[in-house]
Amino acid sequence: MSIRLQEASFDPGGETNAFIAEGGSAGAAVTFTGLVRSAPDDPIKTLTLECYEDLAQSQIAQMVAEAIVRFELLKVSVIHRHGTLQPGEPIVQVMTLAPHREAAFKGAEFLMDYLKTDAPFWKKEATPAGQRWVEATAEDDSARARWSDRDGDQ
Amino acid sequence: MKILYFAWLRERLNMSEEEVSPPPEVTTVRDLVQWLRSRSEAADLAMQKPELVRAAVDARIVDHSAPLAGARIVALFPPMTGG
């Protein structure tokens, strides 16, 4: 597994290609990239992510280890940025490698759901009207909760 | 013991960390939050909804009933918004 916490931007395509190149003949690779959103009816100027790095490292390592066992993944990479980002920039990239697509998709989705609620990052948006902390949502909690069911297929 | 604060807790308290020596009767995270609230009006206001205060002891996430024995670093923070 590879876990990188960084302020610097990264190239999602380059990361994906490197991940696949190291994947040998596994069969299925899934990449999810989370981007800084700014919608016309809710524009933001910047997104700042605060991070508790010591805890983030151990929390993400724990969730990746669980995903590897649970979905029989062959390889996982998580890149998560912190600091101040512009709309359209990549925030997070999760990549999974597995023999078949179902495990690769599910593993990536599981990891994203856990990152939302269990990785110690806090997002603050700068909008034309001022700054605001992004609140944790019930949707994020229920997305994570569905994996508590042992099958994990909702 | 060192306390770390993150996100809006850090902002409302106007500090990212502080060194504290709680009295011996403060044995759990819940006791610590109550004790911190009793020391300052800013802390009392910032932590008035204890369910919005999450905790980690020595870089491990714990709930409010967790013991503080031997803890060196306690982090207090709002619900996480990663991903």
Q: What is the pLDDT of residues A30-83, one digit of tens each?
A: 999 999 999 999 999 999 999 999 999 999 999 999 999 999 999 999 999 999
Give SS3 for B32: helix
Torsional class of B33: left (φ above 0), alpha (ψ -120 to 50), beta (otherwise): alpha
Nearest to A119 among B75, B78, B83 (CB): B83
Residue A39: HSE in the Cβ half-sphere, 13 Å Cα cutoff: 2
The answer as to CATH 3.40.1670.10 being correct for domain B2-77 is no
Nearest to B77 among A52, A54, A59 (CB): A52
- Chain A positions in Cβ-Cβ contact with residue B4 (cut-off 8 Å): 52
Torsional class of A78: left (φ above 0), alpha (ψ -120 to 50), beta (otherwise): beta
- Tell whether pTM > 0.90: yes
Domain boundaries in chain A?
A: 2-146
Q: What confidence category does residue A24 fall into, taking pLDDT thresholds of 50, 70 and 90?
A: confident
Contacts across the A-B interface (CB distance below 8 Å) = 71
- Assigned CATH topology for domain A2-146: Aldehyde Oxidoreductase; domain 3 (3.90.1170)
**ipTM of predicted assembly, 2 dp:** 0.95
